[in-house]
Amino acid sequence: MFSGSLVALITPFAEGQVDYETLRELVDFQINSGIDGIVPVGTTGESPTLSHEEHQEVIRVVVEEVDGRVPVIAGAGSNSTAEALKLTRFAKEVGADATLQVAPYYNKPTQEGLYQHFATIAAEVDLPMIIYNIPGRCVVNIEPRTLVELAKIENIVAVKEASGQLDQVSEIATRTNLTILSGDDSLTLPIASVGGQGVISVVANIVPTDVKAFTDAILVGDFATARQWHNKLFALGKALLSLATNPIPIKAAMAQLHMASEEVRLPLVPLAAAKKEILANILTEYGLLA
């Protein structure tokens, strides 16, 4: 249910407000392009600068627009367990199929604290959970030994791995039955080589059909075709996570493709002009711009 191509959906803004009309259009574009699942209000969805009310409304609107056509995995994580519980309960109430739970950021919990955080949410809300490990954002790594214990909890079903450590991914794959999803577009194929089963993708915001073809090849074990897709997607996927902090580059790309505004909220700022030119060249080379 949670493998394949899942899009880390942006939250579009217009004059400082969430642009719900464009949000619905982006959801339909993804579904019509064959995406396997939609992940709103994660890192790419700018959850840190959405109010609690906006966060909940984005989840509600996405669930409503999807209308059961694909799974919705709602971003519901927080560095406060109580706040994550509130968001997770809301996601269940409005019909989300699962939640994405990021490691608590800034307060640097111990491994026992991480276990208790995720275990508490899983016990309180009967909804499938994908744990999100991204040490570069959270300053703490969810170690394999902790995931081994969390995997024993029935509704903890998957992990989004963005640690960049293939040895860690291998250990998770060999010691748990969790579905492993890449958290970095450029590492989807390497992670698949040691047991990954898809990606929660930033680049899928603009090329969902290609990401779907890529993960379809992975899931049937056609790694020759998967490598061709990796080679095609690599420069674009890498640029979207290296030209500036995500989601600045993907929003700039979507603006150049007339899909959504480039608007982000402070402390994020739009992509610098020189880097927009670099991005335009990459989009042109890919065949997305004339």
Grade residue 51 by pLDDT with cuts at 50, 70 and 90.
very high
Residue 285 lies in a domain: no
pLDDT digits (tens, 9 = 90+) for 78-98: 999 999 999 999 999 999 999
Q: What's the sign of the alpha-carbon dihedral 148, 150, 152, 158?
A: negative
Burial of residue 244 (CB within 10 Å: 0-12, 13-18, 19+) is buried
Question: What are the CA-CA distances from residue 198 to residues 207, 218, 221 (Å)?
Answer: 15, 8, 12
For residue 139, pLDDT over 90 is answered with yes
Q: Which residues pair with 179 in a beta bridge?
A: 158
pLDDT for position 137: 93
Q: Catalytic residue positions?
A: 132, 160
Which of 61, 36, 67 shows the shortest CA–CA distance to 214? 36
Query: Is residue 271 in a domain?
Result: no
CA 49 to chain centre: 17
Q: What angle do CA 123, 167, 101 make, to 5 degrees?
A: 25
pLDDT attached to residue 124: 98
Residue 263: inside a domain, yes or no?
no
Question: Is there a contact between 284 and 290 (Cβ–Cβ < 8 Å)?
Answer: yes
pLDDT tens digits, 11-21: 999 999 999 99
Average pLDDT, the chain: 97
Whether the pLDDT of residue 156 is over 90: the answer is yes
> Looking up tokens 């699942």, which residue turns up?
37
The answer to whether the pTM exceeds 0.85 is yes
Q: How confident is the model at residue 290 (pLDDT cuts 50, 70, 90)?
A: confident
Residue 272: inside a domain, yes or no? Answer: no
Section 131-135 average pLDDT: 97
The model's confidence at residue 1, banded by pLDDT at 50, 70 and 90, is: confident
Q: How many structural domains are present in the chain?
A: 1
Asked if residue 234 belongs to a domain, the reply is no
- pLDDT band for 229, please (50, 70, 90 cuts): very high
Among 247, 239, 236, 180, which Cα is nearest to 208's? 236
Is residue 95 situated within a structural domain? yes
Q: Taking residues 203-228, what's their average pLDDT?
A: 98
| Peptide bond before residue 71 is cis, with ω within 30 degrees of 0 | no
Question: DSSP labels for 197-229?
Answer: -EEEESGGGT-HHHHHHHHHHHHTT-HHHHHHH
Asked if residues 233 and 214 have their Cβ atoms less than 8 Å apart, the reply is yes
User: Per-residue pLDDT averaged across 198-222, rounded?
Assistant: 98
Residue 133 β-bridge partners: 161
Region 268-285 average pLDDT: 98
Q: Is residue 269 part of a domain?
A: no
Confidence of residue 4 (pLDDT cuts 50, 70, 90): very high
Q: Which residues make Cβ contacts (< 8 Å) with residue 26, sequence separation at least 6?
A: 9, 10, 12, 205, 259, 260
Beta bridge partners of 98: 73
| Residue 209 resides in a domain | yes
Instruction: Tally Cβ neighbours within 10 Å of residue 235.
Output: 13
Check which CATH number belongs to the domain holding 207 and give it: 3.20.20.70
Domain that holds residue 100: 4-219
Q: ∠ CA(71), CA(214), CA(142), 5° rounding?
A: 65
pLDDT for the residue numbered 142: 98
Q: Residues 231-269: pLDDT tens digits?
A: 999 999 999 999 999 999 999 999 999 999 999 999 999
pLDDT for 36 equals: 98
